[in-house]
Every structure is written in structure tokens, then in C-alpha cells.
Structure 1
């Protein structure tokens, strides 16, 4: 396909035209995955979403860039030359029209993480064709739910680069119960300053026993047969053991290293809504604001019963909205890289004072830490009560010896998709048989996390499944297409821990 400017690309119109037969068949090469969707099903689902009549437009250029991380310059890839990329903001029912200009030397995509959008705009192949090098593509879809979201590529290891940006969807009817808003993107960083993601992946794949073998190097060290960055992560009780596969040179808040933190200024007594987004690839963060309690109000975009904690644990892909009442002074927001003996930080400044040392550890980090089990969906966010029509298994397997990860015993290249019918209430049963924790993310849907006794908990799209844990979630199959279900550890996903959820019949 070519657009009006002669560039090779798929537009939404051309995609729909090419598939305007009695049915749409989406298939991926080299794996058993085929889904048949009636040709009007995706359009019908889009029509049922709210529509304001407004369009929010933006242009993002994915290209090589030199990015200043705070005195350290990284040669990386980014959107519009910044890390994070520019904020995309809309209101419920608005149409987003975001043109992505791919100026990389490889294919790319933009996945709209957490947004229950139309399947052919999801940004994950094969539902949306990847954007080839040198071409442009316009993602066009309505946003049905308010909340804190973000976007990133769904191609190879590019999620562990500077290609990410926040997406905020406002609810015009939400009461304004805060005076200021702070969007906080957390990241673990290696690209352009340490081993490349490809080198790290090769090291994980080619080092027998992975990071658990004696002699694996810490970042910045070198040795025979080892890759700097592979290994060095410790353990975490909150994560059930091993904290991760990669020890990064830097951990950042909003693209800044701890030695040169970003600053957010407010007045004392102001209520501040902090939108926390973990865009990292291998790191959970334990986040606290020194001298403050956090009132958690939302997770993954959906309201929870407001709950006070000292800190929150955020896995890759998760988001938490918290509200604080600003004290008077200079307060570090510290995101401890869980189990990795390092941290990222930013500063909340509401008065005079001197920031504490870079290695300052707020006592709140050792207080009450909110995890998914701490929260329950607010009444307006809970799913309607219904009996499940189907129970789908998702066994999470694999390990470090061969660095092979799988769902239901198979890597993505040979996966047997999970199958649902339109209108079903589905229970998805995760069983983690591995010794590693996995943040599991479902595209195109939100699910309700069930407690051990079957009661509904928080409503999310990404949830941490601990080693040897069984965890059930439930959702409505109301968004037809082919959707990815995968671990949001970039390296686990690339090594096979992904399958698809297919609508059939």
C-alpha cells in the first residue's frame, strides 16, 4: 500500500479495504495462529464506544537521537528526540489520530498499552501491520476509558530503548479533587551507555544458567564469556525471590538519572495527583515520596477504593495513580529498583531546603507497601457480576538455564492461541511454574483480579504473577480480534513468553 505522498504504508482505510470480504482473517507466519472475525465486528465494537466528535492529532518521529540523561549522553532511539516522548492527552470519547514517522533502519510499531481500542490499531502484529523503515502510519481510534496509559513499540527489543511516551485520557465528569498533576515515568536504562539490549539478550541466551552462574559480571565489569548488565540482580521478598535478569547502569525518572533529577514545583498544602508509570524492561520499582503518605486512587487507569500506603510496588507495564498533600520543603520521590540495590529519583519542591544525598533512602520504603492484593476496585470500576462461561489456562514456564520462556508449554513461535467467543465472561487462570516473577499483560481488555477466595479485587490490564503462584483474573470478551497476552519483561517476551487471545466463530 502507498499513501497519498507515495510512501509505502498501511493506513486504517487501506487495511479495512484490503480485508472487506465476508470475514477478516488475521494470521502470523511460523506459528499456529489464525482468527476469523466477521468483517463488521471490529467496526461495530468501535461504534459502541463513546464518541465526542473531537479529534486529537499528533506526529511522532521514531529516529536515532543523542539524549542527555542529566550529564550523561546516550546514543539511542526516541520519539521526537526526547525521553520520554511527548505526552499524548485526550478526553473520553475523543478520536486519537497519531501519525508515526518511522525513520529507523528497521520496522517499528506503537502499542497503546492498556487502552481498550479497536483491534486493527493495537500496534501489535498481525492485528496491525508493523511500520516498515522509511514509511509513515496513522493510528486512528477512539479512547473509551479515562486513565493513565502509555505507549511503546511491540517489535523485538525496542521496548528497552527510549521509544516510549505517556498517554493520559481525562474524564470530563471527574471531580477536580487535586491542584496539580505530576506524570512520572520510571525506567531502567542501558541503551547507549552500557550493553545494548541485543547484547544483553544474547548474553542471557548464550550463558548457561544465565545470571545465576558463578562469575557473571556486574555492570561495567568485563570477563571471558560474560556481558556487562547480565546478572547482578539480587532477590526480593515482595517478588518471591529472584528480582530480575539484568542489572542496569541507570534507573531514571522522566529521562533523568538520580544525580540530575527532574523537579516538580507546587505550593505547600496543594493536593498533587502523581501518575506513576513503569516503562522499564526488567525492573519492578518500589516507590515512595519522603515525608508523605500515598493515597492510591487508581491502578492501570481504573479507580480503586482509596487506600493509604507508604509505598507502592510497580511491575513493568503497571500504573498507579496516587494523591499526596504537599508538605513544605524539598522531598525526594525515590523509586527503588526492587532487589537491585539502586534507585531512581525526582524532587517534589514546595519550599526552601536542600535535597538529601543521592543515596538517601526514605523510611517510607520500609513501611506499608501496596501491591495488587492491597486494593479493590471502586464500585463504579468493578465488572458487573456474572458467571464465567469459560476458564482458560495460562501456565507460565521456563527458566534461566536455556533462557526459554513459554505459555502453556510453548513459545510464541509455536503457540496454540487461547480462544474465546464474543460476549463471554472469561476466567483466565495463571499458574506460574517458574522461579521468576512475571508481569502479565493482556491487550485490548481490562480484567478484574480475583482474591484467593474468589472475591473481585482491582481492575487492571497488567498483573504480577509471583513464582509458583496461581492467580485468576476475569474479563468480558467484548473487543473482537486477535490480542496478545505476554510477560512484560522485554527479554522474557522476546524469548517466547507470549501467546494470543483469539475471537472465533
Structure 2
């Protein structure tokens, strides 16, 4: 059976069953909903205001598959048997009509990460739709409003930490950036089909440190990239000054760049002098990556899809869910594009080849640029075309990030995710989200359906909040519906570090 948005509008399926859709006042359910519903008239009006263009049709089959990661074959889940999945490319303003066919042994969904799309296409089961059952199909239909680098993945349990992800590129028909070629690069941490499944990991982590298998714990001389023993998925001892201390919770045996392990890397071949645009996406579950290109500096042009004032750097740090676009003019030779798994003593890599005569560097050779200047949020300035006009916030939403490894009780404002609890906002408001991190762990916090402005002015939808620190970000409330905010560490989110914002009825 195929379910689409029109069916939902006619029958109410997926809209009346979700507790989130009947919540009121930001605290509990009432018999008189005060929030805009995901398929309500305000959402339809906002979509029409985007002036939807020509429809582009896509088909995605989510299924179990055997995947080759570069001489390493694993059993996993993927879209159309590919890791990453085939990119979706459309022009800004076009309508995406994507039919998801679920051949997995579990319910699933698709979240279109970073897009300010219509609420009923956001892909959050129990909030904006019913889950897509095994054997069923579901049609997502929405306007792609803003050019940029985006991606898509499930919003169902820990499925993101399998192979279910792919880039989504929204082209600008009036592209102002000058370059010769483009390369989309997707980074990932990998364990599925090697040391267990993401569900195994969550089960172990959920027992907390008191229930961990200490044989799988990382000691001072051990490498966090070494394969753990049975039941030893919890990572201890991974440290990063860039991340404020603890670098991650999970021991991964492999780190991938475009679905390949470092010993058999993906290779981009072109000629010297090429002006290359690289679109970087971190699809990992628990790992930040520090990225550099050997022998080159990077000119950063976009973050999370939106343009910034161009800035040069040796390396940049990418948290889970974040994206950066960079430009580089390539020299003559073979160069490693290296993605250091921050604090985990392992590196994903690919090669850029502009000469047939040059030999590739060894897989264990680390580019010195990784130890050079690393881009910080304070270095990012919005391009004038993306700048949010200055305005005092009409509403401040304080989001305390709480919990820890001992009990693995990650939460927001001390409460695990409850779809009945929705924080109200109103259309037209300038909303400040004040992320107050009370934990000793970093958290990449993601807002659905909107982009926010960092204190530096750069526009993003996902931002790292360092331990014991506060990050204030502002957004303009102009996309009605019910929207999720959550940590993009998939294990933190599934343990409870998620909450909802809801537009109140006018």
C-alpha cells in the first residue's frame, strides 16, 4: 500500500494518532488542540507561498543488503543497495516527489535534514506522520526552497547508524560560486555487520557505566578504533580539546569516506589547476571529523547549505549532521583528503589525483594540515544574502542539556523525550534557543524545519554545544507546524535528548 500526503489530508492517518498533535501549552495534552497540525491549513498556505515548481520524481527502496566497503563486505540496511545512497539533485523551487518503499524488517521513515520544508513531509513518526510499515510505501512531496548541501536519513530508532543515508543537493539556478568540478563527500563511522548492530550498541549504552563490559573499555594505551570484544561497544578514554574533553561514546572498528575504508579509498580524478567544490556531510552516529586536504588550504564558502563570507583554513571540524562547502584549487600530484575521527585515533580518507605519474601516499600518512588552523564558529560570518536581520528576540526558549554516561540518561531540561510536551512559539516571532549544556559531553544540536543564526551571524541548522557552555542561536518563526530539536548523536537522541516546538494557532 502506498500512502501519500493527499491520503493523509483526506483520512487523518498519522495526524490523529500522534500524541504530539493534540498537545497544548507546552506541557500536556488537552481536548482542545492549540497547535498548528502538520497537515493543517497554515502548513498548506506556507507551502503555496513557496510557489512550488515542476515536480521531480524519485524512488527509494530501503532494504537489507550486502555492501562492499572496499574489500570489507557487510550485511546492513541501505537505500537501493548503495552506501551512501544515490544523491537526489533538484533546483531550488522544484517539487520533490519521493516514493519510499520499505522492504526492511522494521518500520522506517525519511527526514530531509536541513530543509525548511512543509511540516507534514518532515519524516518524524508520531509527530508529522505514521511510521512506514514493512512492505508499505510512502510518498514525500514538498518544495525544496533553498539552495545548498543537505542530506536525508531515517528518523526511526538507531537506523541512521546503518547505511540508510544519502546526499540531497539543491542547486541554485543562478549559482554565484565559480568552480570547475564538484565532489560530494559523506563521512561516517561504521560498526553494523562487523561488531554488532546499532540496536546492540544502544542496549549496552542504556545500561550505563554500571552495566558495561569493562573488557571493552579503552585503556590509556589502547586505540578506540580497535574492534571491541563481544558486548564492548562503550568507548572510554577518547579525548579532544576541540570538543572540550570527551570525544564520543561508541567504539567503531571503521571510519568511512563515501562508503570506503581507508585502505581502498574513493578517488576523485581531475587535472591540475581545477577549481573543485567539495560538499562535506557528516552522516556519523557518534563521531566528529576533523577534515583537511594534504598540501592545500581550504576556502570555506557555505555551512549547512547557507553562504558565508569566504574564509581560508587548514582544517575544519564537522559534527554529526553538519555540512560545509569548500573550494580548493588543486595542485599537481596525488593528495589525501583526510577525515580524522576526532579523539578516536583513526582516520577516514579519500584521494584526489591530478597526475598519473605520482604515487599515492600511504594509508597511515597523516596530512600536516590536520594539525594546523582549525575553523571555529567565531570565524564564520554570514554572506549578506543569508544574514538574519538584527532584532531582539520575542521569545527565549531555554534548553538545558542534561544527563551523563553513568546512567546514560540524556535529556533536555531534565526530562526524556515525551511527544506530549511541546514548547509553544508563534509565527512571526524572533525566537532565541538558549542551549545550556550541563553535561561533560559535547552535543551537536539540530533544529528541524528552520535555520538559525549563530552569534557570529552564520546560518546553520546543526551546531556543536561544548561541555559546560551556553550557545544562543536565533531564528525567525515562519514555517508553521510541530518541529523537533534534538542531539544528532543518535544514541543521545534515542536515549531521550529530544524535544518539540509547536506553532500556536493564530
Q: Which secondary structure does the structure 2 equivalent of 1:413 belong to?
A: coil
Deviation at 1:435, TM superposition (A): 0.5
- Corresponding residue of 2:183: 182
Match of 2:259 among 255, 258, 265: 255
- Corresponding residue of 2:320: 316
Deviation at 1:194, TM superposition (A): 1.5
User: Structure 1 residues 162 and 431 mapped into 2: Cα distance closer, same or farther (>3 Å)?
Assistant: same
- CA distance, structure 2, for counterparts of residue 359 and residue 390 of structure 1: 50
Match of 1:443 among 448, 458, 470: 448
- Corresponding residue of 1:356: 361
- Corresponding residue of 2:129: 128
Which 10-residue stretch deviates more, 150-159 or 416-425?
416-425
Deviation digits for residues 104-130 of structure 1, max 9, x if unmatched?
111100000000000000011221222
CA contact (8 A) 2:63 2:77 kept: yes
User: Structure 1 residues 242 and 216 mapped into 2: Cα distance closer, same or farther (>3 Å)?
Assistant: same
Deviation digits for residues 166-209 of structure 1, max 9, x if unmatched?
00001111135000000000000000111211111111122425
CA contact (8 A) 2:98 2:139 kept: yes
CA contact (8 A) 2:419 2:499 kept: no
CA contact (8 A) 1:298 1:321 kept: yes
The number of equivalent residue pairs is 487
Question: What are the residue-to-residue correspondences of 1:327-406 with 2, within 5 Å?
Answer: 327-351=331-355, 352-406=357-411
Deviation digits for residues 230-281 of structure 1, max 9, x if unmatched?
2145100000000000120100000000010000011100100000000000
User: Structure 1 residues 35 and 61 mapped into 2: Cα distance closer, same or farther (>3 Å)?
Assistant: farther
CA contact (8 A) 2:106 2:134 kept: yes
Structure 1 spans left out of the alignment, 5+ residues: 1-6, 451-455
State TM-score, norm by structure 2: 0.92
Deviation at 1:464, TM superposition (A): 0.1
- CA distance, structure 1, for counterparts of residue 42 and residue 386 of structure 2: 25
Deviation at 1:430, TM superposition (A): 0.5
Deviation at 1:40, TM superposition (A): 1.1
Q: Which secondary structure does the structure 1 equivalent of 2:446 belong to?
A: strand
Deviation digits for residues 10-47 of structure 1, max 9, x if unmatched?
31001112349xx9896349994676217310011101
Q: Which secondary structure does the structure 2 equivalent of 1:292 belong to?
A: coil
CA contact (8 A) 1:25 1:35 kept: no
Question: What are the residue-to-residue correspondences of 1:472-491 with 2, within 5 Å?
Answer: 472-491=472-491
State TM-score, norm by structure 1: 0.93
CA contact (8 A) 1:111 1:124 kept: yes
> What RMSD, in angstroms, separates the aligned Cα atoms of the two structures?
2.1
- Corresponding residue of 1:79: 79
- Corresponding residue of 2:280: 276
CA contact (8 A) 1:71 1:260 kept: yes
- Corresponding residue of 2:310: 306
CA contact (8 A) 2:216 2:234 kept: no
Structure 2 spans left out of the alignment, 5+ residues: 219-223
- CA distance, structure 1, for counterparts of residue 458 and residue 257 of structure 2: 26
User: Structure 1 residues 396 and 308 mapped into 2: Cα distance closer, same or farther (>3 Å)?
Assistant: same
Q: Does 1:36 align with 2:40?
A: no
Q: Which secondary structure does the structure 1 equivalent of 2:491 belong to?
A: helix
User: Structure 1 residues 35 and 169 mapped into 2: Cα distance closer, same or farther (>3 Å)?
Assistant: farther
CA contact (8 A) 2:61 2:102 kept: yes
Q: Which secondary structure does the structure 2 equivalent of 1:16 belong to?
A: helix
Q: Which secondary structure does the structure 2 equivalent of 1:281 belong to?
A: coil
- CA distance, structure 1, for counterparts of residue 420 and residue 344 of structure 2: 33
